[in-house]
Amino acid sequence: MQIHLAAFLIAGNAAHSQVLWRHPQSQPGGFLKLDYYARIAQTLERGKFDLLFFADRLAVSTRYGGDHRYGVAHGDQDATRLDPLPVLGALAAVTSHIGLGATRSTTYSQPYSLAREFSTLDHLSSGRAAWNVVTSVNQGEADNFGLRETLGHDERYDRADEFLEVAHKLWGSWAPDALQLDASKGQYGDADQVNAIAHQGRHFNVQGPLNIPASPQGGPVIIQAGSSHRGQDFAARWAEVVFGIQPDLPRMQRFYQDLKGRAAKFGRAPTDIKVLTAMMPFVGNTLDEAEEKRAQHNALIDDPLVGLSTLSSHMNVDFSAYPLDAPIEDLQVAGMQGLFSLVKELSKEQKLTLADIGRLYASGVLVPQIVGTAADIADWMGNIIAQQGADGFVITPAHLPDGFDDFVDLVVPELQRRGQFRLDYEGDTLRSYLQS
């Protein structure tokens, strides 16, 4: 069984770790420069990663304390983010194999412009584009796009379903051979092979066709990360890659079985969907060295409020209104419900206060930190795959731009020696790597 690898990035000062920018090995302002991203992407391509992907949100955090002051002053996950798509356009020029994924919201985009963006990226990268489909959860985003409040949880997914239908119709509106380019006959395109889509629906009316010929993958690889029941149904219908955050093997297995079990309902095979679970590796030549690296990162969390600011943004709840030294309240949230259920479970199981949750969240949302030598980490990963906890991993860094180096230089060769990971890219497109 081959392991699939993705890298988690934000085009800003954080990753899952919200203290990453304070790490002595980080370049805090690097995220505004192209060479920073080029360095990261080239390292990941050296490590034969299937893809890198940028998470995204469309607002600075305004939930915690009711305005932007806290998040901006301390640098929470939403303090600064470049638009990931132009970053990927630039990375297409300095890489040649790795998949390039960006997050775009179905609530705050239109299918026609989004279909163009990803079709363009797919052409310019020769078939490496991926779209992380999100429905957007927080009030700050609604406030930036003229909505009085965010759409209801299930309504967001209803709109997203129709959005995906329209986007796929647009990507299919040019048959693969429709662009003829026969200069001697003066035949540019075969109009019979280009079709309007004439979509009339509840949320969208789109005539089409797209003004871009069929791209190498025929449309980007679809990524999704919803973890509520409605979110998992959406993923089972559309996604080719699903990201999960699960802290332990039993939870990974439940998520994996649940998601794959939904595939048949949408006429798909379980293997059509690759489930990648997030991990934050700390790799050393010895266990002590690895432990030291983890301690160095986690010591940067001197204040639980950075994590609570991000938690407020994720859950669309102002946690400044709750006592820090008490367990987390049993709230119903409209934000990331799957992740919030996990927060509540962990809080109960480990008797964590809101301040403890804040520190945990700041260290890496709820992504498990995996510490050890390359062999230890490869053992841990191999076991997750063998026990059907995941098809692969989303690797999240503790510092940047060099935070993937240990993994690529030490763990990847170990996985390759064990025959669990590709020695080189096979196939021409991101979709072909995922299917191998």
Nearest-approach distance from CB 314 to ligand FMN, in angstroms? 8
| CB count in 10 Å sphere of residue 192 | 8
Nearest-approach distance from CB 204 to ligand FMN, in angstroms? 19
Residue closer to ligand FMN by CB (options 239, 374) is 239
Q: Which residues pair with 289 in a beta bridge?
A: none
Q: Which of 55, 370, 398, 415 binds ligand FMN (CB under 6 A)?
A: 55
Q: Does 84 bind ligand FMN (CB under 6 A)?
A: no
Q: Select from 230, 171, 239 the least CA-distant residue to 199.
A: 171
Q: Does 134 bind ligand FMN (CB under 6 A)?
A: yes
Residue closer to ligand FMN by CB (options 95, 136) is 136
Nearest-approach distance from CB 101 to ligand FMN, in angstroms? 10
Nearest-approach distance from CB 282 to ligand FMN, in angstroms? 20
Q: At what angle do helices 304-315 and 354-364 cross, to 10 degrees?
A: 80
Q: Select from 54, 52, 63 the least CA-distant residue to 12.
A: 54
- Distance between CA atoms of 317 and 304, rounded to whole angstroms? 16
Q: Which residues pair with 133 in a beta bridge?
A: 104, 224
Q: Does 136 bind ligand FMN (CB under 6 A)?
A: yes
Q: Which of residues 199-228 bind ligand FMN (CB under 6 A)?
A: 225-228
Nearest-approach distance from CB 133 to ligand FMN, in angstroms? 7
**In which residue are the tokens 């940047």 written?**
400
Residue closer to ligand FMN by CB (options 55, 164) is 55
| CB count in 10 Å sphere of residue 103 | 23
Q: Does 135 bind ligand FMN (CB under 6 A)?
A: yes
Q: Select from 337, 304, 333 the least CA-distant residue to 320.
A: 304
Nearest-approach distance from CB 250 to ligand FMN, in angstroms? 18
Nearest-approach distance from CB 159 to ligand FMN, in angstroms? 12
CA Rg value for the chain: 21
Q: Select from 294, 321, 256, 261 the least CA-distant residue to 403.
A: 294
- Distance between CA atoms of 228 and 341, rounded to whole angstroms? 9
Q: Which of the ranges 135-143, 176-184, 212-220, 411-419 carries the binding residues for ligand FMN, by CB under 6 A?
A: 135-143
Distances (CA, A) of 23 to 28, 395, 411: 8, 18, 22
Residue closer to ligand FMN by CB (options 51, 134) is 134
DSSP 219: S
The binding track of 310-349 with respect to ligand FMN, each residue x by CB under 6 A or -, is --------------------------xxxx----------
Residue closer to ligand FMN by CB (options 84, 208) is 84
Tell me whether strands 179-182 and 99-105 are parallel, antiparallel or unpaired.
unpaired
Residue closer to ligand FMN by CB (options 136, 139) is 136
Q: Which of residues 352-411 bind ligand FMN (CB under 6 A)?
A: none
Nearest-approach distance from CB 280 to ligand FMN, in angstroms? 13
Nearest-approach distance from CB 428 to ligand FMN, in angstroms? 27
Q: Does 13 bind ligand FMN (CB under 6 A)?
A: no
Nearest-approach distance from CB 1 to ligand FMN, in angstroms? 22
Residue closer to ligand FMN by CB (options 102, 434) is 102
- Distance between CA atoms of 50 and 417, rounded to whole angstroms? 18
Give the CB-nearest residue to ligand FMN: 231
- Distance between CA atoms of 263 and 389, rounded to whole angstroms? 17
Angle at 271 between CA 421 and CA 128, to 5 degrees: 60
Q: Select from 433, 343, 418 the least CA-distant residue to 381.
A: 418
Q: Select from 22, 137, 130, 18 the least CA-distant residue to 431.
A: 130
Nearest-approach distance from CB 222 to ligand FMN, in angstroms? 12
**In which residue are the tokens 């965010």 written?**
150
Residue closer to ligand FMN by CB (options 245, 308) is 245
Q: Which of 45, 50, 56, 356 binds ligand FMN (CB under 6 A)?
A: 56
What one-character-per-residue DSSP string does 193-210 give? GB----EE-SS-EE----
Residue closer to ligand FMN by CB (options 197, 342) is 342
Q: Which of 103, 310, 313, 369 binds ligand FMN (CB under 6 A)?
A: 103
Residue closer to ligand FMN by CB (options 95, 232) is 232
Angle at 344 between CA 341 and CA 348, to 5 degrees: 140
Q: How many residues bind ligand FMN (CB under 6 A)?
A: 20
**In which residue are the tokens 């809101």 written?**
354
Residues in contact with ligand FMN by the rule CB under 6 A: 55-57, 103, 134-137, 225-228, 230-231, 243, 245, 336-339
